[in-house]
Structure formats: structure tokens, C-alpha cells
Structure 1
Amino acid sequence: MFTRSEDFRTFIRLYPVVTVIVSIQVILWLLFLIPVPTITYFFASLVGYNAGVANGEWWRLITPIFLHANFAHILFNSVSIILFAPALERMLGKARFIAAYLATGIAANLATYFIIEDLTYTHVGASGAIFGIFGIYLYLVVFRKDMIDSSNSQLIITILVIGAVMTFVNTNINIIAHIFGLVAGALLAPLFLTRKA
């Protein structure tokens, strides 16, 4: 389920949504490496920024899902998406997978806005949506054992434990986004885990 053995072309054909998500992340990250004031300003207009959201810049609840702070950040999140999202894309179908990914990422960013009261707080990263994916898997492990085997269930629990530990150990982590991405995934899972679109 989580072992990737496809070649590049096969991966793109089988998992087009995952491919597009990772491609957008990489393209934006490479673009923002260019030290041009216009690009720097554009990047600043997309990051999660509580004061911006408070002023009606609602897109800041969506765009941070595709932005990353540095190479290690984008590498870790992209590898996580490549490893764990394809099975869910196949299970849900393209439309429901996109909806689940965005809904959990937005829920994580909404929680960040409402719970972290500091209007100067900024954040970027796909972690909220990634934890949303894990929330859906957690729902499968607990409530839909018919849809996931025991070895993959154990792997999910192990990854969640590691993710939880890393969330509270590492610095510069949006803990709220991780927690509420996971919760949103688990709560929204029944809406998406119907018949494949």
C-alpha cells in the first residue's frame, strides 16, 4: 500500500493529483529562490499570516499548503506525500482526494488562525494536509478495518506516533496545524470514504 515501486511515468499516470501537488510545491519553492523583489513580495502575499486573514485575505488559508520554508522542509513533506498519498488517491478517486487534501489543510490553517491569537504569526507547509491524510488513515484503522490490512494499520500507528513526537520535539513546528489536520482528517473521513468517484 505504501511501497513505491513504480517508474516515473507510471507514477504520474497512476497518481496525477499527487504528482500535481508535489510539482506545484517544487515549482513555487524554486521560484521563490530567485532573489527578485517582485517575487519576494508575491511570496509574502501567499504565506499564512494571521493579520492578513483578519483583513480578509482568505486565500492565505489555502496557499500556505503549497509553500515551504527551506529545502529540508519541502523534501520531508514531498517525500511524505509521495509515500502516503497515492494509496488514498486510488482509494478515493481524484475529486475526493483533492477535496480531502484541501479540506484538511484549510481546517488546519483555520485552526491556526483562530487558536493562535498573535496576528503577526506566519506559517507555511503542507503538514496540516499531510496530517489530514493520516487522520483519514487513522479512521480506517479504527473504524474500517475492512479497507486496510493489519500490517499497514501498524505502519500508520507507528508513523502517527513518530509524527506526534516530532511535532512536540522539533522547533518551528505549527503544532496546531498538525493536531487539527489530523482531527479534520479523522472527522471528515466518513464523507470521503464512500464509493470511489
Structure 2
Amino acid sequence: MFIRNENFKQYINAYPVVSSIIAINLIVYIMTLIPGIGDIIFYGGMSVNGLIAEGEWWRIVTSMFIHAGFMHVLFNMFSLFLFGPELEKIAGKVRFITIYFIAGLSGEAATFLLKEPTYASVGASGAIFGVFGAFGAILYHNRRTTPQLRQILLPIIVISVIMTFLQSNVNAASHIGGLVGGFILGLVYFTPKNMLRWRKY
């Protein structure tokens, strides 16, 4: 399920939303490395609670596409590369987009509410945790019929949450906010009734 066997072209054709999000994040990261303009993009787009409170609302969106270093963007995009396709296939393009962005916004909202005005953050982690949360909702709705999926996903979700609190310089509020946002939206999307209706079209 989470082992990718497609070649590059097959992957892009099969999972256009995930591929587009990964491409945008990588392009933005490369742009932040350009002298001069890179600092403008990074500092002009990062999430800063105090500046958001003053009306710079775009930061809650732009910060989801900015990363603080190569390992940061590599880890986040590799996670999306592995886990995003299955959710895009299950949910469809539009529902996947809403899960990803609403989870990301949920992470930003949690950061805004729980962190001090000077707190600054970047990264797609909240949105990616929303993907995990959506999978958690799928497990909840199908808890009696998906033992293999449960054995794979539950340890991943639990370990990801634990590592959130063990690592330094991690925005735990964004991770947990994104996880909860993805789970709640997944509860709405992935009811057996909705899943059955999707299969009819």
C-alpha cells in the first residue's frame, strides 16, 4: 500500500495533487536559496503569530510551503510521497486537497492560539499530520474490517506523535492541530455511506 512501484511519469499521472504539492514545495525551497529574493520569500511568508494578528493573514497559507533547510523539506516531502497517494486514491482529488489544506490551517490555528506572539514557524508538517489524521478516521470507520491497515498505520501515527514531543525545534501545536483537523474532516468524508456513494460514480 505504501510501497511506491511507479516510475516518475506513472506517479505524476496517477497522483497529480500529491505530485503538484511536492513540486510547489520543492520549487519554493529552491527559491529561498536564491540570494536576496530567498530571504524575502522566507521571512515574508513564514508564520509569525504577532504579524498574523496584525493582519498579515497570508502567512497562515504561505508558511505551509516554506521549509527551514534541506532535511526539513526532504523529510516532509518524502512523507507526503509515501502516504499521500493512497489517500488521494481513496478520497479523490478535491477531498484530498481539502483535507491537506484544512489540516494545515488547523495546525496554524493551534499555533496561533497556543504560542506566544513572537513565535515563528514554517513547514508542511501540520498538513501532513492531517493526512495521518484522515487515515485515522478511515481506521475508525472500518475498525472491524481493516486489521492489516491498522497494523501498518497505527504504529506510524503513534510514533509520529511521540517523536513530535521528543524532538527539539518542532511545532507540536501544528502537528497535533493538523492531526485533529485531518481526523475530524476524515470522519465526515469517510463514513461507510459516503464511501458507498462515491463508488457509484
TM bucket (normalised to shorter chain) is over 0.9
Distance, in Å, in 2 between the alignment partners of 1:51 and 1:41 is 18
Residues 104-132 of structure 1, C-alpha deviations (whole Å, 9 max, x = no match)? 0001101100111x111100111101111
Contact 2:67 2:73 in 1 (8 A): yes
Q: Which residue of 1 aligns with 2:70?
A: 71
Contact 1:26 1:74 in 2 (8 A): yes
Q: How many positions carry a matched residue from both structures? A: 194
Q: Secondary structure at the match of 2:89?
A: helix
Q: Secondary structure at the match of 2:185?
A: helix
Q: Which residue of 2 aligns with 1:40?
A: 39
C-alpha deviation, 1:143, in angstroms: 2.1
Q: Does 1:102 align with 2:101?
A: yes
From 154, 157, 176, the equivalent of 1:157 is 154
C-alpha deviation, 1:136, in angstroms: 0.8
Cα RMSD (Å): 1.5
Distance, in Å, in 2 between the alignment partners of 1:126 and 1:151 is 28
Residues 17-75 of structure 1, C-alpha deviations (whole Å, 9 max, x = no match)? 00000001100101111121x43123211101101110111111111111110111111
Structure 2-normalised TM-score? 0.91
Q: Does 1:144 align with 2:129?
A: no
Bigger relative CO (Cα 8 Å, ≥ 6 apart): 1
- The unaligned stretches of length 5 or more in structure 1 are none
Q: Does 1:188 align with 2:178?
A: no
Distance, in Å, in 1 between the alignment partners of 2:92 and 2:141 is 20
Q: Which residue of 2 aligns with 1:126?
A: 124
Q: Secondary structure at the match of 1:172?
A: coil
Contact 1:100 1:192 in 2 (8 A): no
C-alpha deviation, 1:16, in angstroms: 0.3
Equivalent positions of 1:17-28 (< 5 A) are 17-28=17-28
Distance, in Å, in 2 between the alignment partners of 1:40 and 1:115 is 27
Q: Which residue of 2 aligns with 1:175?
A: 172
